[in-house]
Amino acid sequence: MRILLPSLALFLVACSEAEPRPPPTDRFVYPSGIHYRSVAGSTRGILYVSSANFDRCFDQGTVMAVDLDRVGTEGNRLPLLSESGANPAAPVVTLEQLNVLPESRVFIQSYAGELAYWDRADAAPRLFVTARADGDFIHYIDVPEPTRLSCVGTTGNNCIEGALSLTQLPGQTDDLPRAPAPFGVGVGAGGDVWVTHLSAADSPAGSAPSGLSKAFQSYVVRLPGDEPRVTTSDFFSLSIPDLPQGGSNSVVVDERYVFVSGRFDRYASNYTSARRFLLRVLDKTNPGRVIDPGLDLSFAANDSRGLALTARPAVSGAASRRLYMAVRAPDSLLIVNVDGSEGDSPRMSVVGSVPLPLGPTEVTLVPRGAGRAELVLVSCSDAGVVAIYDPDVGQVVAQVSVGQIRGIESPRPFGLDVQREGNSARIFASNFGDGRISVIDIPNLDSPQDARLVAYLGARQDVGQSATCTEVQQ
């Protein structure tokens, strides 16, 4: 008997290590992608949030449909946007209880990136979520009801089972094409889905660290939004001879062109070169045609992150459009004029730059109506703030802190989306660092400098048992 006891102990340890660790049902875990949806019959709307499970504390990440009318407790709900201007000195409300129903959450792979929403005319809306952990997946998730989520490709609530891998597909040669670390995702008006990837693809796979890669390639991947399928012909190279290589970060899908921001890659990018991959533009009518407008020749930055394009003018050729790009080193908002985006010869030129707080990451716009330029929102992860740039003033008019900076730790705001109501706006920012959603109100879009933090949604992940992977799941 004495001989068997150590073996039994090892068996028990092994069983303990193999025990399932489902993600929490009552909080976010490294929230990343985010989308706000106004719904008839709902006072506050619905928020779709992906959790990245970045520390791999749990077996999977999640996507949740959060009914903002249910968040909090009776008598302690999210303040209404319409009442935000009445009490500018009101304290910030913390609403830890999300009250998410079982049908309002599904499982995804870890390391979720951006999230895109497609409002289909002839079917239920659909979400697309990238994840760069094992498998390098993109998940298709239907929304048959505003707070009910359904995995495409499987009958259960584990969307990994029906997800598409962007690195493991038939027909590859020397492990190309593939899109390691899928991250950015955008949807065109016709339901065409475009995906970026942070890491350049080495060939063969895994050869980059040893310096033995025969080639590096960066792609943007086009997928059909109505059916999850992918082949090697859906990968379009962003590499241009004699121009810098790198990964790709975010994507904006316009009617004819796809705008892709470039991410510095420690293996593929040349540290000593003065050139950088900041922006590549692909022609959807001829996907083999890729344009590098040479923005790095006008503004020397290390790489670029999020980007946003202003709407097409009502009158063709009436005015230039603006492309706003978050770039790093130096951390700035790059302002780019875009002309001729309907024709064969689009032109892009840098017309300005604005210094930003540290770590500019995602960019989104807030329309203000005819005659007013859109406000530009930038999540600045390292600084822990959401910056608001007003083009009519030509400067950053507000920097709203979304949490406490402790040493090198930050709430790390990432994803952004906006609720519009009359001449007011509500900003939702996913705090990747502390696990909450920050809610920022602009009571009057004519005075964006008055933007203020009004609430936090969810419990913190960086304190107590949540910070040490020791919380017990119910």
**Mean pLDDT within 462-474:** 70
* Residue 157, pLDDT above cutoff 90: yes
Instruction: Report yes or no on 254 lying in a domain.
Output: yes
Mean pLDDT across the chain = 92
Instruction: Report yes or no on 17 lying in a domain.
Output: no
Residues contacting 433, CB < 8 A, separation 6+: 381, 384, 403, 409, 410, 411, 412, 462
Render 421-465 in DSSP notation, one character per residue: ETTEEEEEEEETTTS-EEEEEES-TT-GGG-EEEEEES--SSSGG
* Residue 85, pLDDT above cutoff 60: yes
- Mean pLDDT is lowest, of 29-43, 53-67, 287-301, 406-420, for 406-420
Same domain, 360 and 348: no
Same domain, 333 and 401: no
Rounded Cα distance between 106 and 48, Å, is 11
Of 246, 225, 109, nearest in space to 168 by CA: 109
Same domain, 335 and 361: no
* Residue 8, pLDDT above cutoff 90: no
Same domain, 37 and 127: yes
**Mean pLDDT within 260-278:** 90
Instruction: Report yes or no on 5 lying in a domain.
Output: no
Domain that holds residue 244: 179-202+217-266+275-305+324-353
Instruction: Report yes or no on 104 lying in a domain.
Output: yes
Instruction: Report yes or no on 450 lying in a domain.
Output: yes
Same domain, 286 and 158: no
- pLDDT for position 2: 36
- pLDDT for position 323: 98
Instruction: Report yes or no on 289 lying in a domain.
Output: yes
* Tokens read off for 429: 């920012």
The structural domain count of the chain equals: 2
* Residue 407, pLDDT above cutoff 50: yes
Band of residue 444 on the pLDDT scale cut at 50, 70, 90: very high
**Mean pLDDT within 358-372:** 95
Instruction: Report yes or no on 212 lying in a domain.
Output: no
Same domain, 188 and 156: no
Same domain, 145 and 187: no
Rounded Cα distance between 421 and 359, Å, is 29
Same domain, 36 and 125: yes
* Residue 93, pLDDT above cutoff 60: yes
Same domain, 42 and 160: yes
- In the chain, % of residues over pLDDT 90: 85
Instruction: Report yes or no on 2 lying in a domain.
Output: no
Give the count of beta carbons closer than 10 Å to the beta carbon of residue 89: 5
